[in-house]
Amino acid sequence: MSSSIALHDKTLSELAQGLEAGEYTSRELTEAFLARIERLDGELNSYITLCREEALREADAADARRAAGNAAPLTGVPMAIKDIFCTEGVRTSCGSKMLDNFISPYDATVIEKLKAEGVVMLGKTNLDEFAMGSSNENSYYGPVKNPWDLSAVPGGSSGGSAAAVAAGLAPAALGTDTGGSIRQPAAFCGITGLKPTYGRVSRYGMIAYASSLDQGGPMARSAEDCARLMNVIAGADPRDSTSVVRGVPDYVEGLDYDLKGLKIGLPKEYFGDGLSAEVEASVRAAIKVFEDAGASVQEISLPHTHLAIPTYYVIAPAEASSNLSRYDGVRFGHRCADPQDLEDLYKRTREEGFGDEVKRRILIGTHTLSEGFFDAYYIKAQKVRRLIRQDFLDAFDQVDVLMGPAAPTPAFDLGAHKDPLSMYLQDLYTIAINLAGIPGISVPAGLAGKRPVGLQILGPHFGEQTLLGVAHQFQQITDWHRQRPEFGQEQA
C-alpha cells in the first residue's frame, strides 16, 4: 500500500482511484478501516454495529469483480450506513431499544444500489432515536462525541455518520435529513453533506420518522465524493410512490461549474438575531470567495422563515405519531415480558421501548391529529408550509442559489441543551428546506476555535447538480474540507 497520504485521510474519490490503479486491494482497504474503527471508536461511539465478516466478504467479492474486469466506479470502496436503512441480515435499530433485536429481512433500495455498485458496508452508525434530535444524545446506545472536540456534540440525527467520516473511520456514509439531520452534523463535524430534493432518492427501506420530510443522502469529505455517491443512489423507485420519475444527470460531469455570473442570494432572515459572530464571520468570508471568483451577491427575503420551526413541530410529530404506531410488540421489535392482556402489551412495550424525546413527539403528534385540533393545527401548518415553499420559489426566480449558515453556532457542548425547545431552535436554518422539499448542501467553511463551521448552499428543486458544482468549485479554491481533527492522528 503506497501513498504519501494515510488511507483514512483520503477522500472516497481518491480511494476509488487507488483501487483502480492497483495501489491496494479492497480487502486491504477494508481491513485498514475496520482496524481503525476497533481501535478508536470506543471514544466516539459512532457505530452501533460493526459488520466485520460481511465487510471482508464484500471486499473479496469486489476484488474478484475488479480482477474480472467488470468493476464499477466505486467497486471495493468501503463506507458506513446510518442505522435507519434496512440491511438484510444485519440489525437495523434506529438507535432505539424498540428495534434493538430487529434483524431486517430485506435491503433498502439505496442499499441494493450500493451493493450492485460493489460498495463495502463497514457497519451501521449511531443516530438520535428514530432520527429525532439535533445532537445524537437521544440514542439508546449512548451519545456520540465530536472528533474535533470530545466535549462537543457531533450534531444530529446523523451524528454517527458525520463523526465516523470526520474521524477517518469511514471515507463516506449515508445519512437521512428530516429537518437538517445531514447538513447540521456535516457542519458540526467539518464534512460535506447533501440533502437531495424530496423524491430524488428512494425512501423504500428507510425507516420512517416523518414521511413527507425524510430524505436520504450522502455524507463525505468533499462535494466530488457526494456527486459520485449520488450517481449510485439517485433515481425513481417503483416501490416508493414518493420518488420522482425523472432522469438522473451525471453529477460528476456537473462538477466543472463556472462560478462567473453565478447569482447568489443571501436570505436576510439567516443573518439576524441568534447567529453567532464567529459563524457569521466564516460564512461571509466563504461568500467573499465566490464574489472574488466572479459571482454576484444580493440580499433577498424569505418572509415566512420565522414560522418554519412551529410549522415543522406540528407536521413532523403528527407524521411520527402515525408512523410509530406500528411498534406495538406484536409483530417485531421489543415486547414487554409477561403481558397481562393486549392493552398491557401495548402500554408496557411502548413505555419500555421508546426514549423520552420519541415519546414527547408522539404525544405532540397524537394531540395535533385528535378531533378538534386537526383543523386548528395540522391543516393550518400545511397551509403555512405552502407559503414557506413559495418563498423559495420566488427567491429562485431572482437568484441561482441561496447561501447562509447551516447552524446558528458551532457544535455545542454535550448536555448544553437540556430544554427541548432550545434544542429545536438549533434547526432554525435547516428546517424550512425540508418543508419546501428543495435540496441543500453543507460544506466546511472555517473553524471557530477548534470546532468547524458549515456554509449551507440551497438550490431549486432537482438542483443538486448545480449545488455540487458550486460546492466543488469552492473546495478547489479553499482547503477547509482537507482539514482534519487531531483525534486519531497519532494512531494513524
* Residues noted as catalytic: 82, 157, 181
Residue the block writes with cell 421508546: 354
What contacts 12, CB < 8 A, 6 or more positions away?
Answer: 74, 77, 79, 171, 172, 220, 221, 222, 225, 228, 229
Task: Say what angle helices 26-44 and 12-21 make with each other, to 10 degrees.
Answer: 150
Q: How far apart are alpha carbons 299 and 357 in whole angstroms? A: 37
Plot region of 53 (φ>0 → left; ψ -120 to 50 → alpha; else → beta): alpha
Q: What is the DSSP letter of 199?
A: T
Amino acid at site 230: M
Give the three cell numbers for residue 278.
Answer: 464567529
Strands 440-448 and 216-220, sheet pairing: unpaired
Count CA within 13 A, CB hemisphere, residue 48: 32
Question: By C-alpha distance, which of 236, 158, 179 is closest to 385?
Answer: 179
Question: By C-alpha distance, which of 399, 405, 388, 492 is closest to 456?
Answer: 405
Q: Residue 119, exposed/middle/buried by CB under 10 A (0-12, 13-18, 19+)?
A: buried
